[in-house]
């Protein structure tokens, strides 16, 4: 049985855009290392989770932790960090997300 992951936080549409990041390219959610829950962004986690966020350690970047909001494919962190668009559906990812990488992924 294939189950669609639940996205938590202040989403605004079915492609995981949120009240903080809602451009056409903002179509991913990140599974947080601390709780295993998908959120559209770090601000959604801060506002709705009952605990502080934790970064994914480098040695765990092989874990599926990125959800494409266009096709709902789950990608590993390594894959996500090495592509410009979804390898499953070719939806482009927001290149500006790299500026927030340290909120999610450790060195």
Instruction: Please check whether residue 66 lies inside any domain of the structure.
Output: yes
Please write down the long-range contacts of 49-57, taking CB distance under 8 Å and 24 or more positions apart: 49/8, 53/103, 53/104, 55/102, 55/103, 55/104, 55/105, 55/106, 56/104, 56/105, 56/106, 57/33, 57/106
- What are the pLDDT digits (tens) for 56-72? 999 999 999 999 999 99
Domain holding 81, by residue range, is 28-104
Average per-residue pLDDT for the chain = 94
Reported as a pLDDT band with limits 50, 70 and 90, residue 4 is confident
Reported as a pLDDT band with limits 50, 70 and 90, residue 3 is low
Q: Report how far residue 102's alpha carbon sits from residue 107's, in angstroms, rounded to the nearest whole number.
A: 8
How many residues does the structure list for the chain?
A: 107
Yes or no: say if 63 and 76 are a contact pair by the CB < 8 Å rule: yes
Q: Report how far residue 66's alpha carbon sits from residue 62's, in angstroms, rounded to the nearest whole number.
A: 11
What is the pTM assigned to this prediction?
A: 0.93
Q: Could you tell me the two tokens for 58?
A: 């480098």
- What are the pLDDT digits (tens) for 40-97? 999 999 999 999 999 999 999 999 999 999 999 999 999 999 999 999 999 999 999 9
List of residues 6+ apart from 87 with CB closer than 8 A: 73, 75, 79
Instruction: Please check whether residue 84 lies inside any domain of the structure.
Output: yes
Instruction: Please check whether residue 19 lies inside any domain of the structure.
Output: no
Number of domains in the chain: 1
């Amino acid at each position: 049985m294939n189950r669609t992951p639940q996205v938590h936080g202040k989403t605004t549409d079915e492609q995981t855009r949120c009240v903080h990041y809602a451009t056409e390219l903002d179509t991913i959610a990140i599974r947080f290392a601390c709780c295993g829950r998908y959120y559209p962004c770090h601000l959604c986690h801060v506002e709705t989770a009952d605990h502080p966020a934790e970064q994914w350690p480098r040695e765990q970047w092989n874990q599926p932790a990125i959800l494409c909001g266009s096709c709902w494919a789950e990608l590993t962190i390594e894959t996500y960090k090495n592509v410009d668009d979804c390898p499953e559906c070719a939806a482009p990812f927001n290149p500006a997300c790299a500026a927030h990488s340290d909120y999610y992924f450790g060195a």
